[in-house]
């Protein structure tokens, strides 16, 4: 039992590091700090808070942390990963957030189909993270469900981070 909890907590720490995006890794001069990076850094902190509350069986703190994670995951849809920005025309955050419904995009000139598809994949990834966080909130104090969901969040965060983190090394 202790080993399982220990492994889960190690996995949570790894997931938190992955959620941090660019801030958790080497950062060179051509990788600027971005609102999305700051948001991901906040998510890392919130996930650590959730894990701490989980360890101490503090249900109220767990729910507070997951609410903050949910709010941040919804906000993340307003941003574009730095990796994709090099290949995108200048658009407002509002237009980026509405890319899923192309009739709201008055001017897609300059954006390649491939870049658009990558951005759509990013938005779908954020939706998946939001779904997992919603399930985590609904899990309440169910330790087994929480452990399973945290494992899924870890895997999702890892694959999303690999796909959308700009290599600034």
Is residue 82 within 8 A of residue 66, CB to CB? The reply is no
In a domain, 166, yes or no: no
Name the token pair of 98: 């509405």
Residue 168 lies in a domain: no
Compute the distance between CA of residue 158 and CA of residue 16 in angstroms, rounded to an integer. Answer: 10
Domain count within the chain: 1
Question: In this structure, what token pair is assigned to residue 39?
Answer: 């948001």
Local confidence band at 167 (pLDDT 50, 70, 90 cut-offs):
low
Structural domain boundaries, residue 16 = 2-160
45-57, pLDDT tens digit by residue?
999 999 999 999 9
167 belongs to a structural domain:
no
Q: Give a yes or no: residue 23 inside a domain.
A: yes
Helix (H, G, I), strand (E, B) or coil at 167: coil
What integer pLDDT is reported at residue 26 of this predicted model?
Answer: 37
Please tell me the distance from the alpha carbon of residue 157 to that of residue 15, in angstroms, as a whole number.
6
Report if residue 58 sits inside a domain.
Answer: yes
Whether the pTM exceeds 0.75: the reply is: no
Q: What whole-number distance in Å separates Cα of residue 37 and Cα of residue 81?
A: 8
Rg (CA), the chain: 17
pLDDT, residue 106, reads 42
H-state helical runs in 35-109: 35-55, 59-76, 82-85, 93-97
Residue 59 lies in a domain: yes
> What is the rounded CA–CA span in Å between residue 122 and residue 124?
5
- Does residue 129 lie in a domain region? yes
Query: Residue 13 pLDDT > 60, yes or no?
Result: no
How far is the CA of 27 from the CAs of 30, 48, 160, 166, in angstroms?
A: 8, 22, 18, 10
**How confident is the model over 85-137, as pLDDT tens digits?**
766 666 555 655 555 555 444 445 556 778 778 888 888 999 999 999 999 99
Which of 12, 6, 4 is closest to 149 using CA atoms? 12
């Amino acid at each position: 039992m202790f080993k399982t909890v220990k492994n889960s907590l190690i996995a949570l720490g790894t997931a938190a590091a992955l959620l941090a995006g660019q801030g958790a890794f080497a950062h060179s001069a051509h990788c600027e700090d971005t609102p999305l990076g700051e948001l991901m850094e906040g998510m890392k902190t919130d996930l650590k808070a959730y894990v701490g509350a989980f360890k101490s069986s503090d249900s109220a703190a767990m729910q507070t942390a997951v609410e903050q994670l949910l709010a941040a995951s919804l906000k993340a849809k307003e941003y574009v990963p730095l990796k994709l920005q090099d290949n995108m025309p200048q658009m407002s955050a509002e237009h980026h957030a509405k890319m899923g419904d192309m009739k709201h995009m008055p001017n897609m000139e300059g954006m390649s189909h491939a870049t658009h598809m990558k951005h759509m994949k990013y938005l779908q990834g954020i939706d998946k993270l939001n779904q997992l966080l919603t399930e985590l909130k609904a899990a309440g104090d169910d330790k087994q469900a929480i452990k399973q969901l945290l494992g899924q969040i870890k895997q999702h965060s890892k694959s999303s981070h690999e796909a959308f983190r700009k290599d600034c090394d």
